Amino acid sequence: MASTYTTNLKLTKQGDGENPNSWGQILNDGVISLVDDAIAGYTTVSIGSAATVTLTNVQGGGDQARSAIIEFKGTVGGAHDSIFVLIPNNSKTYIVKNSVSYNDATDAVVLRVAGNAGVTIAEDSTALYVTNGTTVTPVAQTFTNITASGNLNVLGATSLSGAVNMVGNAAVGGTLTVTGAVSLASTLSVGGAANFASTVTVEGATHLKAAVSVGGAATFASTVTVSGKGKFMTGAFAPVVTLTDAASVVPDLNTSNVFAVTLAGNRTLAAPTNTSTNIGATGHIFLVQDATGSRTLSYNTAYQFPDGTVPVLTTTSGAVDVLFYAVRTTTKVDSIVIKNFTR
């Protein structure tokens, strides 16, 4: 009976009575060595000018597709912006290291099974991919450094060991771990846990759907939404927003939760705007007398004071009173004023 081969790894299955007195060599070369490749083999594949690179797939012999770890090298660009790397149509996991050089932002390396949609391999990344013989799915990805002017979309878990600089949006479907500094000029959305070991700066809105941990300073220039627990190893604070001194002083809760105003006349503190999106928010307002002093402040009915007693400000020139608040409802802002910090 002739030898056959296993479906996924193409290991030799000797037939009954085949290869008498030589089966040991067949076992070593056609099974044991190939299993070693499948578990720990490292293969380098060159990417060049061809639009398609097909991984070799040999029954009972050494090939590229069987290796556990595959590193892509070479340069993408020229005649083809996208290079398609074709893998066999059987189930397997691959660890892929992308060391390919790119000519411009339109270049891409795509891992796929022939005849099916593939997945783009991120530049300068090491990732674990799983295929069922039809589709290819990233499981986890590790990047050294990322600098991108477009959007970053990652389906699986992401680990970044260097700095991240993004001009576009960043969306991560799984967990995100960053050991370097993060600077995002637009929005950040993370579907899983987010762990930052260094500083985080986000100029757009931030949406974190699970736990967040930040080991360094965190600066968010827009709204931050955390559905899980938030843990900051060092101080997390909002910038102080200077309110416009006018007859009616209006805090916008979407800009910060810490405000300051220097009173140059008798004023009214208007109801804060955007309370509906900030229910439960707490903060404070520094109320500063100008060099003249004797400025008074009245309050919109939204501000609720203990026992209904409306506070009177310290009127000394340069005095600082602080109003602490908690947004209870869209129309109720529980408040208390602590007076006379500076004379």
- From the number of C-beta atoms within 10 Å of its C-beta (0-12, 13-18, 19+), residue 207 rates as middle
Q: For residue range 261-300, what is the model confidence (pLDDT) as tens digits?
A: 999 999 999 999 999 989 999 999 999 999 999 999 999 9
Structural tokens at position 14: 């000797």
Residue 254 lies in a domain: yes
Please indicate, yes or no, whether residues 222 and 256 belong to a single structural domain of this protein.
no
For residue 201, give its domain range.
144-237
Residue 14 lies in a domain: yes
Distances (CA, A) of 287 to 245, 298, 301: 11, 12, 18
Residues 6+ apart with CB under 8 A from 215: 196, 197, 198, 233, 234
Residue 132 lies in a domain: no
Instruction: Report yes or no: 87 and 119 within 8 Å, Cβ to Cβ.
Output: no
The values of phi and psi at residue 197, to 5°, are -90, -10
Which domain-ending residue is among 237, 262, 291?
Answer: 237
Residue 154 lies in a domain: yes
Which domain-ending residue is among 205, 237, 269?
Answer: 237
Residue whose entry in the numeric block shows the structure tokens 């790397």: 85
Entry pTM: 0.45
Which domain-ending residue is among 237, 264, 279?
Answer: 237
Please indicate, yes or no, whether residues 192 and 256 belong to a single structural domain of this protein.
no
Residues 6+ apart with CB under 8 A from 81: 106, 107, 108
Q: For residue range 107-140, what is the model confidence (pLDDT) as tens digits?
A: 888 999 999 988 888 888 888 899 999 999 887 6
| Mean pLDDT value of segment 37-66 | 87
pLDDT at 343 over 60: no
